[in-house]
Chains A and B, each alone.
Chain A
Amino acid sequence: AQSVAQPEDQVNVAEGNPLTVKCTYSVSGNPYLFWYVQYPNRGLQFLLKYITGDNLVKGSYGFEAEFNKSQTSFHLKKPSALVSDSALYFCAVRDRDTDKLIFGTGTRLQVFP
């Protein structure tokens, strides 16, 4: 079965420091991978996606993600965190059998001043 895992419920980082939010996946074939962000009392916003091509994908708000096929990971990164990056982050993978998106359980990012 296709699945996606976000092993950390919460990530804390100081403003100005680099941040990483982890995501691992399990799919058959080539994965389509996505990151979304949810600010308080809002819906999800698309950040970036990996379909094919370069393993390093750049997205909105200075975020990027690295696709690692051997480790089946798609970690979200940012070189310098902002307090305004504090939000809930979701990784998602396409289910190859049903063509639907499977979302992880989310990671809450807290950036402290």
Chain B
Amino acid sequence: DVKVTQSSRYLVKRTGEKVFLECVQDMDHENMFWYRQDPGLGLRLIYFSYDVKMKEKGDIPEGYSVSREKKERFSLILESASTNQTSMYLCASSFTGDLLRISNQPQHFGDGTRLSIL
């Protein structure tokens, strides 16, 4: 079974802090994703990466950055945390499908990090 592990289930930080959320997958997936989940808004893509050291902006990248130095690890960074970044953060990974298309393959999710910014 695919295992996507997020380093923290719950995290409480203060406004202005630099926050690191870590994600590791064990299935040699090329693609990794960071989403945030908010009630009534579903999942929104923050950043994704289709290879080591590669990154692409998602729909809501402002206030975030990412790092992918190794294939199995994808980090989300909140440069200066703000209260509106309080949310559930979900990491996911997937294989690249046929025709080099990312999204005809299912994504495998971690259990999420519930982040509170005070």
Contacts and interface: CB of A to CB of B under 8 A. Distances in A.
Nearest to A41: B111
A99 B107 CA distance: 13
A113 interface: no
A14 interface: no
Contacts, number: 53
Interface residues of A, number: 21
Nearest to A43: B109
B107 A46 contact: yes
Contacts of B109: 36, 43-45
Interface of B: 4, 9, 40-45, 48, 58-59, 90, 92, 101-104, 106-112
Interface of A: 32, 34, 36, 41-46, 49, 51, 90, 94-95, 99-101, 103-106
